[in-house]
Amino acid sequence: MDRAAYVARILHLYRKLPGALDRVLRDDRRTASDLHRRGISIAVVEDAFILTTARRAAVPNGQPLDPIRVLRYILPVIDELLSAPPAPEYIRYLEARVRQRCRFTLD
């Protein structure tokens, strides 16, 4: 996938991420471009969005969290997924839970 299409896909998903502000900053575009330059697959970024959303939804007592202000927020999750990839079945399970609970989809 070329850089422009990759960046557009990542930023589209980021804007839909529950808890993210509905805007894209210059830094977000730079971060998405850096992910493309690093060769991070769209699938890994999508998995990071799912894992991030699931973790945020599991906060005890349903306490509201601060909004996600920048795409860089998910970089540690991407690094975690690259260093210790979970079973694909686990990510699909989380995706189903997130879809049901948070109405977040990767469309």
pTM: 0.90
> Half-sphere exposure of residue 36, counting CA atoms within 13 Å on the CB side?
17
Nearest alpha-carbon partner for 54 in 5, 6, 15, 92: 92
pLDDT digits (tens, 9 = 90+) for 30-70: 999 999 999 999 999 999 999 998 888 887 776 777 889 99
